[in-house]
Structure formats: C-alpha cells, structure tokens
Amino acid sequence: MDLTLTHPSPSQPPPPQPPPSTPPSPPPPLSPPPPSLPPLDTVPSIWFTGGCSSNGTSAVDNVEYVAGGYTASRALFYHDANASRKFYIYWDPDCSCGGAPARWIVDTDAPNTTAPCDLDGDGECSDKAHIDSDEPSLEIGTKA
C-alpha cells in the first residue's frame, strides 16, 4: 500500500465583507414645469403685407392672422381671420423630419399640434411661402 503524504492546504481567508450599506441618495429634484402659455385671446393678431405668391393665393399680402393654438414645440400658430379661406402660419422645426432647416411656414394645411416635425404631414417641405428661422417666436417686421 502506497501512502502519499500531503500538507494540508492553508486555510483560505474569508471573503471580504461588503462595506456597510449606505442609505440610497435622494432622487434629484423634479425640474419645474415649463411656464404656462398665454391664453389665445390675449395674443394680438398679426398682418402680413407686401408679400406676393406665384400661385395667386395672396396668402401673404394684406392678410390678418389670428392666434389659433400652440404646436408641440410650444410655438404659436396662426390662421387667416377670413373664414371663407384658410391659410395658416406656423413654425416647423423640420418640415420633412429629415434634417430640413427650421422655418416659419404659410400654408393651406393646418399644422398637426402634436407632431414634433413635418407639421403638415406631407413628408416634404411644400408650402405657399416660408422664411427659415431657428426662432420659434415670430419676428415681427421680418422680411423674406
């Protein structure tokens, strides 16, 4: 009978203990809600003068526009005060949802007030008139 002599292995040190638990950090404070938007009946109407349209719609020549509501970007949109025809002015951050420059648009399509871009839903930048602008508030006195 063969016997093998072995040395007992040194005992393993106990696994390290995790540090005492610390209470969880409090959640970050909620960001304040955005400021409320002014009621539409307090927004003054705007007039477009001196514009012309190649298709004869006269959407931007001596036309009064009144506030119609707010879009998803919190920008005002306006509609023609003349009930017999409908033209709209609105700011679209990207009229194709494909990287087009932000712009103020005059069009016969009402803006979708919940869409983040391409507010007329046509997938392209087709309108009666527009002026490129990164500013979602209408610049009074702007000439295109």
Question: What's the predicted TM-score (pTM) here?
Answer: 0.69
pLDDT one-digit tens code per residue, 61-106: 778 889 999 999 999 999 988 876 788 999 999 999 999 999 999 9
Those residues with Cβ within 8 angstroms of residue 120's Cβ, 6 or more apart along the chain or in another chain = 92, 95, 105, 107, 109, 110, 111, 112, 126, 127
Q: What is the pLDDT of residues 111-124, one digit of tens each?
A: 999 999 999 999 99
* Separation CA 24–CA 4 (nearest Å): 55
Per-residue confidence band for 5, with pLDDT thresholds at 50, 70 and 90: very low
